[in-house]
């Protein structure tokens, strides 16, 4: 036979002392204050606190246990948010570096075209010189520049540029990428960020 409402009410009165009740504001305040100074108080402290607040020592012990669990999960949540922020920052930095990389590649292409053009010009000059040798039957000075032998002409500038271009090629090919340190910074993660 199912219990009537009055049966349930009578039972609730009988069990009143065992019923679960939320702690009042004063009890919570005292427990919180104690937790601030000591999150894992000794048995004696818990007993004294329980007596003062009119609670069972076990209730106080359980409250501290639950409080520690709540506190831990809040802390974890906070750490997660901080990590997310630093992850986002890292993503922004990556995008900036990517753009910088792209502009360097464009610069590299321009330099290569410049070198090709210069090679063609050099070839033209060379063939013209050979023609002059034929006219006089004697070898002509290769360079009559007043700056003398120390100055090697625009070719040396192009050579320097070529060296830079070689370095950039390595970057282009994924070698010698100085920013690898960046990839390891903050995250401690060794996996490539190219997977963004």
Partner DNA sequence: TTGTGTTTTATTGCCTCC
Partner DNA sequence: GGAGGCAATAAAACACAA
How many residues can be counted in the chain?
196
Residues in binding contact with DNA, number by CB under 7 A: 20
- The distance of closest approach from Cβ of residue 9 to DNA in the complex, given in angstroms and rounded to an integer, is 13
- Residue 20 touches DNA, criterion: CB under 7 A: yes
- Residue 28 touches DNA, criterion: CB under 7 A: yes
Q: Show Cβ contacts of residue 165 under 8 Å, excluding neighbours closer than 6 positions.
A: 108, 111, 112, 115
Whether residue 71 contacts residue 39, with contact meaning beta carbons closer than 8 Å, is answered with yes
Whether residue 30 contacts residue 53, with contact meaning beta carbons closer than 8 Å, is answered with yes
- The distance of closest approach from Cβ of residue 45 to DNA in the complex, given in angstroms and rounded to an integer, is 10
Taking the C-alpha atoms of residue 145 and residue 151, their distance in angstroms, rounded to an integer, is 8
**Pattern 64-103, binding to DNA, x per CB under 7 A?**
xxx-xxx-x-------------------------------
- The distance of closest approach from Cβ of residue 194 to DNA in the complex, given in angstroms and rounded to an integer, is 34
* Among the listed residues 8, 33, 40, 110, the single contact to DNA using CB under 7 A: 40
- The distance of closest approach from Cβ of residue 107 to DNA in the complex, given in angstroms and rounded to an integer, is 53
CA 77 remoteness from chain centre: 18
- Residue 14 touches DNA, criterion: CB under 7 A: no
Choose between 22 and 147: whose C-beta lies nearer to DNA.
22
Q: Which stretch binds DNA (CB under 7 A): 63-71, 86-94, 132-140, 165-173?
A: 63-71
- Residue 18's alpha-carbon distances to 8, 12, 27, 66, in angstroms, are 15, 9, 18, 20
- The distance of closest approach from Cβ of residue 13 to DNA in the complex, given in angstroms and rounded to an integer, is 13
Taking the C-alpha atoms of residue 21 and residue 117, their distance in angstroms, rounded to an integer, is 88
- The distance of closest approach from Cβ of residue 175 to DNA in the complex, given in angstroms and rounded to an integer, is 45
For 139-161, the DSSP string reads PPPS---TT-TT---HHHHHHHH
Residues that bind DNA (CB under 7 A): 19-23, 28, 40, 43, 58-59, 61-66, 68-70, 72
């Amino acid at each position: 036979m199912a219990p009537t409402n009055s049966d349930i009410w009578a039972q609730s009165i009988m069990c009143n002392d065992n019923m679960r009740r939320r702690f009042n504001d004063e009890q919570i305040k005292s427990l919180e204050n104690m937790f601030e100074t000591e999150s894992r108080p000794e048995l004696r402290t818990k007993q004294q606190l329980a007596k003062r607040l009119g609670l069972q020592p076990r209730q106080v012990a359980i409250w501290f246990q639950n409080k520690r669990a709540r506190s831990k999960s809040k802390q974890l949540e906070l750490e997660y948010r901080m990590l997310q922020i630093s992850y986002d920052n890292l993503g922004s930095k990556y995008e900036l570096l990517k753009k910088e990389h792209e502009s360097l590649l464009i610069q590299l292409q321009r330099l290569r075209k410049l070198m090709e053009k210069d090679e063609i010009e050099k070839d033209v000059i060379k063939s013209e010189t050979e023609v002059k040798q034929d006219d006089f039957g004697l070898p002509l000075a290769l360079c009559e520049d007043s700056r003398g032998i120390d100055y090697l002409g625009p070719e040396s500038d192009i050579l320097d540029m070529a060296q830079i271009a070689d370095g950039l090629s390595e970057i282009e090919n994924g070698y010698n990428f100085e920013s690898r340190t960046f990839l390891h910074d903050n995250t401690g993660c060794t996996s490539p960020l190219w997977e963004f």
